Homo-oligomer: A and B are copies of this chain.
Amino acid sequence: MQSQGSFTVGGDIVFSDALGTGGSGHIAVNQMYVQYKIPPSSRVAVVMVHGADLSGKSYETTPDGRMGWEEYFVRKRRLSPRPRVAGEIGVRSDVFNRVHSGAALPGAQPLISRFSNEEAWTVFRFGPTFGAPYPDEQFPVEAMDRFAKQMVPDLNAMLPAPNPTHKALSDLALSLKGAVLMGHSESGRAPLEAALINASGIRGMIVIEPPGGCGMKYTEQQIATLARLPILIVFGDHLSVAPRNWLGAFENCKDFIARINAAKGNATMLYPPDLGIHGNSHMIMQDKNNLEIADLILDWIDRNVGTKVTSF
């Protein structure tokens, strides 16, 4: 390892009169926390962003103890900053203390979301009913309890709009002098949103299973901006049988790809069943074939973003 460490990007210093300690004063909010590892002679940086109710742990050791994408990408000589957004650091929580003291009504505080194991099982497509995996399931379902221990109370409802993560990702890519942004699930479209703020540091965008699709509300001007960069969309298997409308999200992303390519862009769908690879879940970076999927993504990066060394 040439270098490793962590830092924050963005953030504001704001005043709070409900610190939960009896006092008041200034606190930092809305910053994005980033861990990074730089291998010797690294190629282009890949920034990995986690999804809802999850943390950067998504990309670390898998629930059943295998190598995750973070380590694999580093071993493949990609610099891997792996931001953890809202949930670990950066949210403003003082409204809860105001409700506690009676200074605000209970409805003023947002819900803190958390997937149950049962809901995660079907929504993340581990199987059709809790405890029963799909016959070709790739998620290591025997480690469900350990996966459950990666789930965190999600405080994203406390983030301001627009989500400060998008600007922070754009700034991070700029400071890295070139980066591929990867987003998963709730953060799936974050690379696109970051590019619409400032695309000049971004070299490519990888969008993994955004639940609401890739977004068809983009204007022609926005599509033209996004069409200047290579885009890879990734979806797993069993899209039509899950309780959420994954098939709708998939079809929406195919329409998005068509719009980008009609604007002379370079957008591609990585849908493993098309390659004879079956059974991938929503947690594709933790599936049993996660490194096979990683190789497909790394190959896409090499062919579409290039292999030149990132300069620091």
Contacts and interface: CB of A to CB of B under 8 A. Distances in A.
Contacts of A142: none
A91 interface: yes
Interface string A134-162: 00000000000110111111110000000
A25 B109 contact: no
A35 B25 CA distance: 32
A254 to B, nearest CB: 28
Interface string A97-135: 101111000110111111111110000000000000000
Contact of A61 (B6, B31, B115, B119): B6
B114 A19 contact: yes
Contacts of A296: none
B26 A117 contact: yes
A132 B148 CA distance: 46
A118 B150 contact: no
A13 B99 contact: no
A186 interface: no
A215 interface: no
A11 B117 CA distance: 14
30 contacts: A5-B60, A5-B61, A6-B61, A7-B65, A7-B146, A8-B146, A13-B148, A19-B114, A19-B115, A20-B114, A21-B111, A21-B113, A21-B115, A23-B118, A23-B119, A26-B117, A27-B116, A27-B148, A27-B151, A28-B145, A28-B148, A33-B57, A55-B88, A89-B151, A96-B96, A97-B112, A100-B106, A101-B106, A102-B106, A153-B155
